[in-house]
C-alpha cells in the first residue's frame, strides 16, 4: 500500500498539525525549480477528488487569484494530494517541493497520468481516513474515469481578465444610440 503524500497544506489554511506543512510565509523563496511553469501546469490538470464550494483569497496578499473559487478542493495524481490553489502558491511564492514529487513529475514528462480505479482505491481509502470524511461512498475499483483535456488560464491571463485589460489591437466605437424623437419624424 502506498503512503499518502501531501503538498501545500500550510498552517495558514487551518489544517491539523499532522497534515500541515508549516507556515507559508516561512517557505516563500525568490525563485523555484527551473521547470516550475511545467510543474504548475501539471498541478492545474490533476484529478479532482473532492470539490468544495467556497471562495478564498491569497493568504499572503488577501487578493483573489485564478484558483479563488473552490480553492481548497482536493486534487491528486494518484500518489500525491494537494489543494486546488497549490499551483497558485507555487507560481507566486516558489515554495519548495519535495524531491520525490519533482522526480515523479519529471519522470512523467510533466504529463498527468490516468487515474485507474483499481490502482487508486487504497490511496483513496487512506485519504478518506486522513481527512475524516464520513459522507464518502467507497471507491468503485472497477471504474476508470479518463479526464478530458481542458484549457487552464495562466496567471497572466487571469490577472488581465480580472483587471479587464483589453489585448492590443484596433477597437471600433460602439454604435450610437438613436436620438429620441427623430425616429418618429419630429
Q: E strands along 2-95, which residues?
A: 5-7, 47-50, 74-76, 80-83
Q: Judging by DSSP bridges, how do beta strands 115-116 and 144-145 pair with one another?
A: antiparallel
- Give the Cα separation of 155 and 37 in Å (integer): 10
Instruction: Kindly list the domain boundaries of the chain, sorted by start residue.
Output: 5-166
pLDDT digits (tens, 9 = 90+) for 133-162: 666 666 665 655 555 666 777 777 777 777
Mean pLDDT of the residues in the chain? 76
- Give the Cα separation of 47 and 44 in Å (integer): 9
The reported pTM is: 0.66
CA distances from 147 to 72, 111, 117, 135 (A): 20, 12, 13, 24
**Dihedrals phi, psi of 87, to nearest 5 degrees:** -60, -40
Amino acid at each position: 500500500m502506498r503512503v499518502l503524500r501531501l503538498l501545500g497544506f500550510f498552517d495558514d489554511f487551518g489544517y491539523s498539525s499532522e497534515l500541515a506543512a508549516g507556515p507559508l510565509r516561512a517557505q516563500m523563496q525568490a525563485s523555484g525549480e527551473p521547470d516550475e511553469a511545467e510543474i504548475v501546469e501539471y498541478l492545474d490538470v490533476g484529478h479532482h477528488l473532492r470539490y468544495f464550494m467556497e471562495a478564498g483569497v491569497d493568504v499572503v496578499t488577501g487578493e483573489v487569484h485564478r484558483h479563488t473559487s473552490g480553492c481548497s478542493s482536493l486534487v491528486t495524481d494518484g500518489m500525491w494530494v494537494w489543494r486546488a490553489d497549490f499551483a497558485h502558491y507555487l507560481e507566486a511564492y516558489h515554495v519548495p517541493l519535495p524531491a520525490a514529487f519533482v522526480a515523479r513529475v519529471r519522470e512523467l514528462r510533466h504529463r498527468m497520468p490516468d487515474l485507474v480505479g483499481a490502482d487508486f482505491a487504497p490511496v483513496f481509502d487512506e485519504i478518506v481516513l486522513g481527512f475524516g470524511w464520513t459522507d464518502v461512498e467507497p471507491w468503485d475499483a472497477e471504474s476508470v474515469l479518463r479526464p478530458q483535456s481542458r484549457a487552464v488560464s495562466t496567471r497572466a491571463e487571469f490577472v488581465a481578465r480580472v483587471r479587464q485589460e483589453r489585448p492590443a489591437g484596433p477597437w471600433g466605437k460602439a454604435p450610437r444610440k438613436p436620438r429620441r424623437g427623430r425616429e418618429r419624424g419630429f
